[in-house]
């Protein structure tokens, strides 16, 4: 069977392992060893240089750097994992870029950026998991991150509004759930006056998160949710 491996430096390799090896490591909770993998190849990911250049052209690179410099990587259970700090940085890039393309205001842009910082801090592994969003927002609450967020953004220093906080909670908790589930949760668990705003924010964020797969050439652009991306 084919398996992908993260090296910790932003590189993802792909190789072949026997099914029995995968089953052994999964059920025993141990890591696959290099000698268990054959036909190892670099997946030839797209690098972040072009993305950073794009942020610079948008005038957003200073804002991006301030978010990164202010972030505590120890919030992650596994900072070097596939969904760790490197992934978070790329999702943040995409949030800033998509927010610009969608003409979102400063408050919505900040909401998306804070979601990028926090969306995977609840992960305990890199497999599919619909609960890590809930764990992540609980960590946001436990570490009082909402109150500290005013120092994270150069553009918006004001305290987050109640509506901003509800939007952040919804996106962080539910970014790992299906679109169908989110559409149901939106109409049943959020105030009516936030429906239109949240309907844009969770979709843009899920696209920003999914765009990380561009680096491993595994994203069909037809699945993105807004034509405004261009």
Instruction: Dig out the tokens for 212 from the structure.
Output: 């990380």
Determine the pLDDT at residue 52.
Answer: 87
Q: Which residue is it, tokens 């490591």? A: 25
Q: What are phi and psi of 38, to 5 degrees?
A: -120, 165
Angle between helix 61-70 and helix 49-58 axes, rounded to 10 deg: 120
Determine the pLDDT at residue 21.
Answer: 60
What is the C-alpha separation between 153 and 172, in angstroms, rounded?
A: 18
Determine the pLDDT at residue 49.
Answer: 77
* Cα separation of the two ends of the chain: 36
What is the C-alpha separation between 175 and 169, in angstroms, rounded?
A: 10
Question: What tens digit of pLDDT does each residue of 70-93 get?
Answer: 899 999 999 998 899 999 999 999
Burial class of residue 116 in the structure, from the number of CB atoms within 10 Å of its CB (0-12 exposed, 13-18 middle, 19+ buried): buried
Q: Per-residue confidence of the chain (230 residues) as pLDDT tens digits?
A: 555 555 555 555 566 767 666 556 554 555 666 666 766 655 555 567 778 888 999 999 999 999 998 899 999 999 998 899 999 999 999 999 999 999 999 999 999 999 999 999 999 998 889 999 999 999 999 999 998 787 777 666 678 999 999 999 999 999 999 999 999 999 999 999 999 999 999 999 999 998 886 554 444 555 567 766 55
Determine the pLDDT at residue 51.
Answer: 80
- Give which of 1, 218, 4 is closest to 127, Cα–Cα: 4
């Amino acid at each position: 069977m084919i398996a992908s491996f993260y090296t910790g430096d932003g590189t993802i390799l792909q190789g072949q392992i026997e099914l029995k090896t995968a089953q052994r490591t999964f059920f025993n909770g141990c890591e696959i060893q290099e000698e268990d993998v054959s036909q190892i190849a670099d997946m030839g990911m797209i690098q972040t240089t072009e993305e950073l250049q794009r942020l610079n052209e948008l005038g957003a690179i200073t804002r991006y750097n301030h978010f990164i410099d202010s972030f505590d990587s120890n919030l992650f259970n596994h900072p070097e994992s596939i969904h760790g700090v490197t992934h978070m940085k790329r999702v943040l890039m995409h949030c800033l870029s998509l927010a610009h393309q969608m003409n979102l205001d400063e408050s919505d842009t900040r909401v998306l950026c804070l979601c990028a910082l926090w969306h995977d801090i609840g992960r305990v592994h890199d497999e599919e998991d619909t609960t890590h969003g809930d764990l992540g927002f609980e960590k946001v609450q436990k570490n009082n991150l909402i109150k500290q967020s005013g120092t994270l953004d150069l553009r918006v220093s004001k305290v987050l509004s109640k509506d901003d906080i509800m939007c952040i909670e919804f996106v962080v908790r539910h970014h790992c759930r299906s679109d169908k589930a989110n559409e149901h949760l939106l109409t049943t668990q959020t105030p009516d006056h936030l429906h239109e705003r949240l309907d844009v924010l969770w979709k843009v964020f899920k696209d920003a998160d999914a765009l990380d797969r561009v680096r491993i050439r595994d994203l069909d652009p037809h699945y993105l949710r807004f034509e405004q991306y261009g």
